[in-house]
Amino acid sequence: MNAIISASDLAAALGGPGAPVLLDVRWQLSTARAAGEPPFDGRAAYASGHLPGAVFVDLDRELASAPGAHGRHPLPDTAAFGAAMRRAGVGSGRPVVVYDGGQGWAAARAWWLLRWTGHPDVRVLDGGLAAWDGSLEQTVPEPAEGDFVPQPGALELLDADGAGELARSGLLFDARAGERYRGEVEPIDRVGGHIPGAVSAPTTENVGPDGRFLPAGRLRERFGELGAADGTHVGVYCGSGVSGAHEVLALAVAGIPAALYVGSWSEWSADPSRPVATGAEPQ
């Protein structure tokens, strides 16, 4: 099953039998805002207009637990995540489509969590809300309670030690911007740089100017040029496990399974005992 869905295919699915549950996961990394702008309010954006029937999901509160030793967006409590998904109408036997404002990172985080916890049919709206040319509504739906019970482990998850080992023995992609990988700037975390051995692969390069993913063949070519040969054990990290999920999604579109290090750089760099590499080269 393709991990993404076009706006036209989604419109057709919404009008047919077995319509998917729609989750609106609009969110924005604080450093992405222009200086002086107020914090982005995803719920307010949702209230101003959303896809018909979509339910808002709060990334910081429902797709992550509180920041701490395991990073800025640690895994949510499994029971709390399951309850949030059931409130949104998610059931194990009904497809789910997630979308955000267009960047795709937050939607990918929801996609990854649902897939990791065992939901068999989850897709991301390619291009997000910006790609949708149908009607929007302001009515807040009241979906029937879903029956989804999360069972973690359907996708591979890395911890810090596993990520460090994979950078040496396999292929670990760093999905952040190149300047953060090289350690030239670090706007959020304690120190700049990357996990020794990790390969720079900014997830922003997996999409075109319109925010849609590059064709699967082009993505396979890109990841192959970066070292993802057949049989290679691939993992991904980012700043806090959000944009990294977007890269795992791009790899899935390309037909390449990949593990996610959710703690990512926010966890790794917080521990002064862990090594840090800088510069353009992996080592």
Region 184-195: mean pLDDT is 95
| 3-class DSSP state of 56 | strand
Q: What is the mean pLDDT of residues 227-241?
A: 97
pLDDT at 30: 66
Catalytic, out of 55, 199, 228, 238: 238
Q: Return the pLDDT at 183.
A: 97
Q: Does residue 188 surpass a pLDDT of 70?
A: yes
pTM over 0.85: yes
Identify the helix (H) or strand (E) that includes residue 18: none
In this predicted structure, the answer to whether residue 29 has a pLDDT above a threshold of 70 is: yes
**Which amino acid is it at 9?**
D
List, in order of start, the domains of the chain with CATH numbers.
4-131 (3.40.250.10), 157-268 (3.40.250.10)
Tell me the average pLDDT across 93-117. 97
Catalytic residue at 238? yes
pLDDT in tens, 112-152: 999 999 999 999 999 999 999 999 999 999 999 999 999 99
Query: Helix H segments across the chain?
Result: 7-14, 42-48, 59-62, 78-87, 105-116, 160-169, 178-182, 216-225, 243-253, 264-268
In sequence order, the 6+-apart residues with CB closer than 8 A to the CB of 103 are: 28, 128, 211
- Judged by DSSP in three states, 97 sits in strand
Q: What does the alpha-carbon distance between residue 268 and residue 261 come to, in Å, rounded to a whole number?
A: 10
Residue type at 216 in one-letter notation: A
Q: Please tell me the least confidently modeled range out of 15-29, 169-183, 257-271.
A: 15-29
Give the pLDDT score at 110.
98
Residue 28 confidence (pLDDT)? 86
In total, the chain counts a number of residues equal to 283
The radius of gyration of the chain from alpha carbons, rounded to an integer in Å, stands at 18
